[in-house]
Amino acid sequence: MSQRFWQVLHWIFLPLWVLGAALNMATIHGGFLTNYLSDLVFPPDFYIIMRGLHNHKIPRNLAWFAQTPERSFFGIWIVGVVSEVCQYYWPRGIFRGTFDPWDIASYTVGLVVCYLLDKRK
């Protein structure tokens, strides 16, 4: 995939993530938009940024994770799963919210798509 492809994808994902997060913070009940949109688009957007796919610049503090698509995928996925599981065991903790296994499915779907596209290089 070309750098231009990843740039377009990044600029599609970023406003969608902001929209989903803003609706959620405003406590607007928008169904899919507030429940899963951010979970679906943020992890793959962070994958694109972490791997430097959109600008060929890898953030220095993420260099170890960015070395391989697998490190990036599992690094982001584990953080998402841990935050979701923390909501189950510690609902008023640092990751406040309600445990929802569909959130984990959303993280996974978005990341798998980016991972597979990245591997097609």
Q: Which residue range is the domain that position 59 belongs to?
A: 3-119
DSSP assignment letter at 54: T
| pLDDT tens digits along 31-54 | 998 889 999 999 999 999 999 999
Structural domains in the chain (count): 1
DSSP string, 22-77: HHHHTT---THHHHTHHHHHHHHHHHHHHHTTTTS---GGGHHHHTSHHHHHHHHH
| pLDDT tens digits along 90-107 | 888 887 788 999 999 999
Global pTM reads 0.91
